[in-house]
Amino acid sequence: MQHTTEEILHQIYLFSSFSMDELAKIAEKTKYKVLEQGDAVYQEGNEAKAFYVVMYGTLKILTSTEKGNDVNVTTIATGDHFGEFPFLDQGKRAGTVEAMERCELLEIPFEHLQHILDSDKELALKFYKGITTYLVKRMRLLTHDLAYARELKKRYS
């Protein structure tokens, strides 16, 4: 069964509180992209112009060390999203994202999203509340992981 772009966006926590009419505004300029295994969505250091929702597939996020070695930061899959941080801070891409298999993505242009949020303050509040909740969860997980890593280091040092 095919889902509309609005239905797919509604499943993402960032947009779960949006109405279908509000989602239709975002879907207006959202693009469907297909990647094959090994294709890069973007490279570390690139200018950021969009963020992505994974409709299907698995991707890996890599970053480079000072010595030039690639480090796999995380793996993302169907239902996840990525690339939203530069929307918040206008920074460059912090990593490279590559398809591990055939992937289907939705690409949401920053410029379009910013225009929508600037013109509808209630929608902006919903979006920023959603992203804040997500970032807090990520920070809590990171704090937990760091505490665990420190404990392991103490035990085995």
pLDDT in tens, 8-56: 999 888 888 999 999 999 999 999 999 999 999 999 999 999 999 999 9
pLDDT surpasses 90 at 64: no
Contact yes or no for 33/104 (Cβ under 8 A)? yes
**Global confidence as pTM:** 0.83
pLDDT surpasses 90 at 112: yes
Q: How many domains does the chain have?
A: 1
CATH of the domain at 151: 2.60.120.10
Mean pLDDT of 71-94: 89
As a whole number of angstroms, the distance between CA 150 and CA 76 comes to 26
Contact yes or no for 71/64 (Cβ under 8 A)? yes
Share of the chain above pLDDT 90, in %: 62
Q: Range with the lowest mean pLDDT among 25-39, 45-59, 103-117, 132-146?
A: 132-146
State the average pLDDT for the chain.
90
Give residue 22's identity as a one-letter amino acid code: E
Q: Which residue has the tokens 């996020």?
A: 61
As a whole number of angstroms, the distance between CA 151 and CA 91 comes to 33
Question: What is the per-residue pLDDT for 156?
Answer: 84
Question: What is the per-residue pLDDT for 38?
Answer: 95
Edge-to-edge strand order for the sheet containing 81-82? 31-35, 103-109, 50-56, 81-82
At residue 1 the predicted structure's pLDDT band, cuts being 50, 70 and 90, is: low
* CA dist list (Å): 132 to 32, 125, 135, 137: 26, 10, 5, 9
Q: In the structure encoding, which two tokens stand for residue 104, read together? A: 């289907």
Residue range of the domain that includes 34: 5-156
Question: What is the per-residue pLDDT for 117?
Answer: 94
Residues whose CB is less than 8 angstroms from the CB of residue 79 and which lie 6 or more positions away in sequence, other chains included? 11, 12, 54
As a whole number of angstroms, the distance between CA 84 and CA 97 comes to 13
Q: How far is CA 71 from the centre of its chain?
A: 18
Question: What is the per-residue pLDDT for 14?
Answer: 84
